[in-house]
Chains A and B, each alone.
Chain A
Amino acid sequence: MMGVLRTERVSIDFGGLRAVDNLDFQIGDEIVGLIGPNGSGKTTFLNIISGIYKPTRGRVYFNGEDITSLPPHMIRAKGIARTFQTNRLCLNLSILDNMLLGLYCQQQTTWWQAIFMSSSSSREIKLGIEKSLAILAHFNPALITRAYEPVMTIPLIDRRRIEIARAVVGDPRLVLLDEPTAGLNSEETNQMINDIAKIRRRSSQISIIIIEHDMTVISRITERVVCLNAGQKIAEGTFSEVARNELVRTAYLGG
C-alpha cells in the first residue's frame, strides 16, 4: 500500500499551548477516522495539512513530496481538498458558483484570457457546469433544479452535501472532512453516511480523513481510526480495537 499522505513528528504551538504534539500519521487508499475529545487537536491537524497553519516542527509529505511550507492554494492544487467544521460555503453565491469554486484549481483561464478570449473562458465554464451538475446529481438530484439559487436559501443537510461536493468536484486525491454530521438529526446523519460512501464508490482513488464525534458514523464508514488526546496520538487501529482501548476510554470519560 502506497502512502498518500504522511506526517512526521508534526507539532504546533499556540503561545504556550501545544495543540498538536509529535504526531506521526499516514493514510493510503482508505477512509481514516480521526477521533478524540474536544480540543484534542483534530481540526488543528487538518488545518496543518491544508496549509492554513504552519507546523512549529515536523514535516508533511503528500505523494512523497514535502508540502509542509506550501500555502493553502498550492496544497489544494496538489490535490488535497477539505470541508469545514462550521459549514463555510459562500452564502451569497449560487450553488453552481460554489461548485465552480471547487473546480477553480483545475481551470486555467487567466484575467486577460477572460477579457480577450471570452469564448475559451466560457467553454471552460460550460465544462465546469456539466461536471458540477453531474456531481450534484450524484448527491441529491433535487439540488440541480436549485442550482441558480443562493446557498443561504438551502437547508443545512444540503449545504453540507454541497460543501462535500465542492471538495470532491475538483478530483482531489485526499479529502478532509471536518465533522460532516454536526448539527444533523439521525435521519440526516444516515443520509450523510451514504453520501460519504458515494464518494468512494465514485472513485476509489480518493482517500478520506474524517473527523467525527458520532461513533456510529465512524464505525460504519471508516476502515481505520486514529484517536488523539491533547495533541498526541493515543490509539490507532480498527474501530473495535480503538473502542476497546483503555487510554481512549479514559480520555473520553475524563478519567
Chain B
Amino acid sequence: MELIISQILNAVMLACTYTLVGIGFSLFFGAMDIVVFCLGDVAIAGAFAIMALSTVMGVYASLSGILPAPISGIIVVFIGACFTAGLVTLMYRAVIVPFEGKNINASLLSTIAAGIVIRELIGLFYPEGRNPHAFPQLLPAGLIGDNVLLSWRNIIIIAITFIMVMLLYWFVNRTKTGLSIQAISQNKEAAIMVGINWHRIIVITFLIGGFLLGIGGFLTASYFNSLRFDMGAMYGLKGFCVAVVGGLGSIYGAIVGGLLIAFVEVFVTAFIPGGTAYSSVAAFLIVVLFILFKPEGILGEKTVEKV
C-alpha cells in the first residue's frame, strides 16, 4: 500500500513537470496552428538561467543577504521565467515568422533545428556545459511531519503547477487578452475582422507560454535534482506527447495527458521487472496508439476534414 501511494505521488509529480510544457505546446498550437518543437530546450534553457543566477552569477546569494530566502528564490525563478519568455519570443521571430503560411514541414524542421542550436549552445558555453549539474535547491527540503512520503519540495512543486494552471485559466477566461487568444484559436480570420490585433496577441501568447515553460523547466530540474544540457530534447518530446494525448490545443487536455503519460511511465518502472528501461517506450507507444486511433486526444474536439 505504501508503495502504491508513493508511486502515485511520484506520478503526480512527474505529471506536474510534463503539464506545463504540454500546455505550452497546446497554447501555441491553438493560437497559431503550429507545433514549436524546441519548447523542451527553451524550458531547460530557463532552468540553466536560474541555475546560473543562483550559482555562477551569485544573484541568489546576494539577494539572500538582504531578503528572506523564499522571496529571493521567487525573484530568481521569476527572472529565469522572464528569460524563457524572451527566448521563446525570439524563437518566434527567428524560426517561425519566416515560414508563416508556407508548408508546415519547413517550420517543423526549423523549430527542431532551433532546439538543437539552443541545446548545443548551452553545452558549449555554459561552464562545464556538457556535464550533468546538481540543480541548486531553491525549494525547501525536509519532510512534512513524520510522513516519509510528503516532503516540502514535492508539495511545493504540485502547488506551483496548480497555481500556474489556475492563473492561466483566469487569464484565458477572464481577461480581454485571454479571450482574444481563444478567439484567434477558434477562428483567426473572424478574430481579425472584429478588430483583434492578431500580431500583438500572438506575441503575448508566446510571452505567457514562455513564462510557463520557464517555470516548467525549473520544476523539472528541481524534481530530478539535476540538469543536463540535452534534457530538453526528451522533455520537449514528452511535452508534445502529453499535449497530443490530452488533445492538442486544449489546455486542460495537457493536464489529463500529463497524468496519463506520467502514470504509465511510473507504473511501468515500478511494477514491471526491468521496466525502467521501457518506461519511455511505453509512453511513446501510447502516443502512437492515440495518434492512430484517437488523434483528437482525450479532450480535443474531433474535426471533420473539409473536402
Contacts and interface: CB of A to CB of B under 8 A. Distances in A.
Contacts of A52: 307
Contacts of B304: 14
A177 B307 CA distance: 15
Interface in B277-307: 304, 307
Contacts of A43: 307
Interface string B24-67: 00000000000000000000000000000000000000000000
Nearest to B305: A52
Interface residues of A, number: 5
A47 B304 CA distance: 14
Interface string A135-170: 000000000000000000000000000000000000
B105 to A, nearest CB: 14
Contacts of A14: 304
Interface residues of B, number: 2
B201 to A, nearest CB: 29
Contacts of A47: 307
Interface in B78-99: none
Interface residues of A, dominant DSSP: mixed
Nearest to A84: B307
Nearest to B302: A15
Interface in A2-53: 14, 43, 47, 52-53
Interface in A39-72: 43, 47, 52-53
A238 to B, nearest CB: 31
Nearest to A53: B307
A43 B306 CA distance: 11
Contacts of B307: 43, 47, 52-53
Contacts of A53: 307
A56 to B, nearest CB: 13
A47 B307 CA distance: 8
Nearest to B304: A14
B133 to A, nearest CB: 49
A52 B306 CA distance: 11
Nearest to A88: B307
Nearest to A85: B307
A43 B304 CA distance: 15
Interface in B170-218: none
A35 B172 CA distance: 44
Nearest to A44: B307
Interface string B215-233: 0000000000000000000
Nearest to A15: B304
B305 to A, nearest CB: 9
A13 to B, nearest CB: 11
A222 to B, nearest CB: 24
A20 B246 CA distance: 33
B301 to A, nearest CB: 11
A89 to B, nearest CB: 16
A117 to B, nearest CB: 33
A52 B304 CA distance: 12
A169 B304 CA distance: 31
A92 to B, nearest CB: 11
A14 B303 CA distance: 11
A53 B306 CA distance: 11
A242 B244 CA distance: 51
A47 B299 CA distance: 29
A14 B302 CA distance: 12
A76 B189 CA distance: 35
A215 B13 CA distance: 66
Interface in A66-123: none
A218 to B, nearest CB: 23
B106 to A, nearest CB: 15
A147 B307 CA distance: 28
B146 to A, nearest CB: 56
A53 B304 CA distance: 11
B30 to A, nearest CB: 21
Interface in B101-141: none
A27 to B, nearest CB: 21
A43 B307 CA distance: 9
Interface of B: 304, 307
5 contacts: A14-B304, A43-B307, A47-B307, A52-B307, A53-B307
Closest 5 CB pairs of A and B: A52-B307, A47-B307, A14-B304, A53-B307, A43-B307
